[in-house]
């Protein structure tokens, strides 16, 4: 039995990036909002994902720079890594950002925050603790959690996920990572740079969802730094080794073998958080991938929207924020808002970084028609040469009329450079527009314009163009 009944305009379930954005925006326009969160404010990104991982990657990057300083005439130094201090750095970064997502801040914004598990009891009601919420509209933004595969013996050993690995204050001496996707590869490189021996086990291809040409220099760099990457290798079972160690039995084309480690990280993907929400009672269709939504992010219950990871699409913080903006447009202003995944960028924050927006080369070719693939290497960029960051390239996919279809960048600062290309795609600009803009010199982003210009290089050899120039010369 509930003690309190609330009747807000909007009820948001989940205080991650997307949920917080909806709640803050609605409150800013004077709309009554109830925000329900059973765990930590800020969700996965702040506490277990983007923020701590990038803080650890930054620490690893500093260590790698010390080891490679001789390229600039400075003596190489093997850094003394204080892993406890690295952990403190990670926690300090979380603590610095946490006030932006705190209960106190959102209460001050006018949001009614309830710290409890939310559960639908019907199409129009949610119960959270001793409170019943009868909102006009609901937004489910419960995110996702690490997916743990059914590996024999896994339940009998201590293993880490992205939700627990940042609690370590002692450096893993031998880290085994199951999963060669972005999370596994990012954390593998960071830990290797901080002094751990690291082995990655991937059943298929590491970074297999990315353009293989772009993934290749990333994996080559990791292997060059000492990360062992075992592709096309399945995990048969795991068992405890000694008091704290772990032994992973793998199977390859050459047979079975054990891999011993001090710590085990499971990074095999993420599962949408739908359990315990009472979605069936609310008439909300869902499956293992998450809540089923239409292009407007509305569920099968027209009073309920779902955004971010739980909506079953791309699982990135910026996607959740994008979804939040679409839902606010629909809820507050009755404006048309449809998800366009073609404009959503994604980045793997390794060194070198790997960024993509729009179609990959394979997707562009599969789409049919005459496709132009335009490239420019970092090695032919003056800034990249000055900073010894010459690994990588940009690749533009365009149609025969110069309309941009997709962009892949692998190299230094790729995650920053992809911003411009996401804007270009969202505004449906053409390569002639890119060729017309003036980037400052020397910057690495010049590689994009250089690649775009190659689209027009063939025009200089066309007889008609040459005849036109000859005629124009007659006029002085």
pLDDT digits (tens, 9 = 90+) for 41-53: 999 999 999 999 9
How far apart are the C-alpha atoms of 64 and 76, rounded to whole Å? 10
Looking at the DSSP bridge assignments, the partners of residue 234 are: 251
Task: Check residue 164 and give its pLDDT.
Answer: 96
Read off the pTM: 0.94
Q: Per the structure block, which two tokens stand in for 440?
A: 């400052």
Residues belonging to the chain: 476
Q: State the pLDDT at residue 254.
A: 81
Digit-coded pLDDT (tens) for 78-93: 999 999 999 999 999 9
Helix axes 212-224, 182-193, angle to 10 degrees: 20
Q: Are 171 and 81 in contact (CB under 8 A)?
A: yes
Dihedral angle at the C-alpha atoms of 271, 275, 280, 281, nearest 10 degrees? -150
The domains located in the chain, with CATH, are 4-146+271-341 (3.50.50.60), 154-269 (3.50.50.60), 352-461 (3.30.390.30)
- Give the pLDDT band of residue 466 (cuts 50, 70, 90): low
The answer to whether 131 touches 2, Cβ cutoff 8 Å, is: yes
Q: Do residues 424 and 430 touch, judged by C-beta distance below 8 A?
A: no
Annotated binding site for NAD(+): 179-186, 202, 269
Annotated binding site for FAD: 54, 142-144, 309
The average confidence (pLDDT) of the chain is 94
Residue with tokens 């960029």: 381
Q: What is the pLDDT of residues 210-251, one digit of tens each?
A: 999 999 999 999 999 999 999 999 999 999 998 889 999 999
Q: What percent of the chain has pLDDT over 70?
A: 96
Measured distance CA(351)–CA(462) in Å, rounded? 41
d(CA 467, CA 218): 47
The DSSP string of 292-341 is ---TT-B-SSTTEEE-GGGGTS---HHHHHHHHHHHHHHHHH-------G
Q: Which pLDDT does position 93 carry in this prediction?
A: 97
Binding site, annotated residues:
54, 142-144, 179-186, 202, 269, 309
Q: Determine the Cα angle at 296 with ends 291 and 297, to 5°.
A: 20
Average of per-residue pLDDT across 295-314: 95
pLDDT, position 177: 98
Find, among 161, 141, 140, the residue nearest to 265 by Cα.
161
């Amino acid at each position: 039995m509930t003690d309190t009944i609330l009747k807000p305009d909007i009820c948001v379930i989940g205080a991650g990036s997307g949920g917080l954005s909806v709640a803050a925006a609605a409150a800013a326009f004077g709309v009554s909002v109830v925000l329900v969160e059973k765990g930590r404010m800020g969700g996965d990104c702040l506490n277990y994902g983007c923020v701590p991982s990038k803080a650890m990657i930054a620490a690893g990057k500093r260590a790698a720079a010390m080891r490679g300083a001789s390229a600039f005439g400075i003596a190489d130094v093997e850094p003394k890594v204080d892993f406890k201090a690295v952990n403190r750095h990670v926690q300090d970064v979380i603590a610095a950002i946490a006030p932006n997502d705190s209960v106190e801040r959102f209460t001050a914004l006018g949001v009614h925050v309830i710290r409890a598990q939310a559960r639908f009891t019907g199409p129009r009601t949610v119960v959270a603790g001793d409170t019943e919420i009868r909102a006009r509209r609901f937004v489910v933004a419960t995110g996702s959690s690490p997916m743990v595969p059914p590996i024999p013996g896994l339940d009998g050993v201590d293993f880490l996920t992205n939700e627990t690995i940042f609690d370590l204050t002692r450096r893993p001496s031998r880290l085994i990572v199951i999963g060669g996707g972005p999370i596994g590869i990012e954390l593998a490189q960071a830990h290797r740079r901080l002094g751990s021996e690291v082995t990655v086990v991937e059943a298929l291809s590491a970074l297999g969802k990315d353009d293989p040409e772009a993934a290749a220099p990333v994996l080559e760099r990791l292997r060059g730094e000492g990360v062992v990457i075992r592709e096309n290798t399945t995990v048969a079972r795991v068992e405890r080794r000694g008091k704290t160690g772990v032994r992973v039995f793998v199977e390859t084309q050459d047979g079975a073998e054990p891999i011993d480690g001090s710590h085990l990280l499971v990074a095999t993907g993420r599962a949408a958080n739908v359990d315990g929400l009472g979605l069936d009672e609310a008439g909300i269709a869902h499956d293992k991938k998450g809540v089923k939504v239409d292009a407007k992010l509305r569920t099968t219950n027209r009073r309920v929207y779902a955004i971010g990871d739980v909506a079953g699409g791309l699982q990135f913080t910026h996607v959740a924020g994008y979804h939040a903006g679409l839902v606010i447009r629909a809820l507050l202003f009755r404006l048309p808002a449809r998800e366009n995944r073609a404009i959503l960028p994604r980045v793997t924050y390794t060194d070198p970084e790997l960024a993509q927006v729009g179609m990959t080369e394979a997707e562009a070719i599969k789409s049919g028609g005459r496709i132009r693939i335009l490239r420019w290497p970092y090695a032919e960029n003056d800034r990249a040469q000055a900073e010894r960051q010459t690994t990588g390239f940009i690749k533009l996919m365009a149609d025969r009329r110069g309309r941009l279809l997709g962009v892949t960048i692998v190299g230094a600062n790729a995650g920053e450079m992809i911003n411009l290309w996401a804007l270009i795609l969202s505004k449906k600009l053409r390569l002639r527009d890119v060729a017309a803009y003036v980037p400052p010199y020397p910057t690495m982003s010049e590689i994009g314009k250089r690649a775009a210009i190659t689209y027009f290089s063939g025009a200089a050899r066309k007889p008609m163009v040459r005849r036109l120039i000859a005629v124009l010369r007659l006029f002085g």
